[in-house]
Amino acid sequence: MPRSFRVASFNVENLFSRAKVFNFQDHSVGDKILKKVDEFCVLLKKTTYTTDDKEQILKLYKEDLNGYIEVREDRGKLFKRRGRRVTGVKADGLDEWDGEPEFIRAKFSKLARENTARVIKDTRADVACIVEAENRPTLKAFDAELLNYRYKYEMLIDGNDRRGIDVGLYSKYPLGAVWTHMFDKEGNQAIFSRDCLEVEVFLPDGQPLYVLCNHFKSRGYDFDGRASEKRERQAKRVAQILGEYDLTSDWVVVAGDFNDNPTSAPLQPLLKVQNMYDVLELQFPADPMKRWTYYFNQFEQIDFVLVSKPLKDRFHKAGVERRGMHKLEKLTMSSNGLVDVEKEYEKVTHWTNAASEHGAVWAEFEF
């Protein structure tokens, strides 16, 4: 009887904390705050700040968004300060400073952590790319406390995102070489917002499996208007890394949250790489709507597991574990048949205890 193993990818939206704006039981409250964040970002992107702009920036930051965001200042200063207190807007426009708004985080509830763990367990993955994990000790602690020591090995290297939104790996099998790409640059700019973590995993028969874990630049809060350009640059770089392998003989996986859909222009440099295959397309070749992993105004696939030809030849089945999403049944029932109706876990009762807004992609292979 053939042996099998599973690979998965799951954006857990952090294992122990999440942006406070997403932690309201009444999700409409968070939506209102997010609209204010949008207004704030539009103002910050202006080349020149008028007096009215400065007054509105200050009001939004100190009143409407107080406690929900802070602004990271990398070069120059946006705000005037007296001690730790913000007293005014110092910059006269975008050219005088670099930085971006960051969400203030709050600890997850115990139930939210349990629901996240349940998704990971239900993928039954032997090797899992974990997106938005805080650090390696957190991965280890989460496995010990909530996964019953399911994974003997874990890997995560702190990447370029100062908020601690990193990519990591769980594995039941021993790890070999590990490469980071956080220092890859185009000109003087880092290519990866977090990292492309490249890990060698040794399967039970000694066969090496190479896993590249990714979290591409988000489409949301496109502060400098270059998010699509950054995702395309990241996709191109991953494609270049794949060029170092023989994809007709090496067992290679590219997994993670690509923050865009399969037909988007920025992802084409990666998705068009010869001898790499999307497992959800292999499973559902005639029905793209069965591949959805995320919903915001529309059902779409933004989470991926791509595999090289030897894995495609050993492919058995794949799917998306969505039951950690809030209001999954209501959402799918209201789709008018666009997607299949599914029901969330019984303990996912509101946004504060949902596992994630993402489904977990998994795939099984025989060897």
pLDDT in the model for residue 100: 87
Q: Say which range, 47-56, 95-104, 124-133, 329-338, has the weakest mean pLDDT.
A: 95-104
Instruction: Report the alpha-carbon distance of residue 341 to residue 151 in Å, rounded.
Output: 32
pLDDT in the model for residue 165: 82
Q: Say which range, 35-39, 189-193, 286-290, 361-365, has the weakest mean pLDDT.
A: 35-39
Instruction: Report the alpha-carbon distance of residue 213 to residue 258 in Å, rounded.
Output: 10
Q: Is the Cβ–Cβ distance between 192 and 221 less than 8 Å? A: no
With a CB cutoff of 8 Å and minimum separation 6, the contacts of 59 are none
Instruction: Report the alpha-carbon distance of residue 366 to residue 316 in Å, rounded.
Output: 7
- Mean pLDDT in residue range 197-222: 92
Q: Is the pLDDT of residue 67 over 70?
A: yes
Residue 17, strand partner residues: 107
Q: Is the pLDDT of residue 172 over 90?
A: yes
Categorize the per-residue pLDDT at 106 as very low, low, confident or very high, splitting at 50, 70 and 90: confident
86-101: buried (b, 16+ CB within 10 Å) or exposed (e) per residue? beebbbeebeebebeb
Residue spans of beta strands (DSSP E) within 144-275: 153-156, 166-171, 175-179, 185-186, 189-190, 196-202, 208-215, 251-257
pTM of the model: 0.81
- Mean pLDDT in residue range 20-42: 77
Q: Is the pLDDT of residue 86 over 70?
A: yes
**CB-based burial of residue 140 (10 Å sphere; 0-12 exposed, 13-18 middle, 19+ buried)?**
middle
Amino acid symbol at 7: V
pLDDT in the model for residue 222: 57
Place of tokens 């977990």: 360
Q: Read off φ and ψ for residue 66, nearest 5 degrees.
A: -60, 125
Q: What is the pLDDT of residues 1-24, one digit of tens each?
A: 569 999 999 999 888 776 777 666
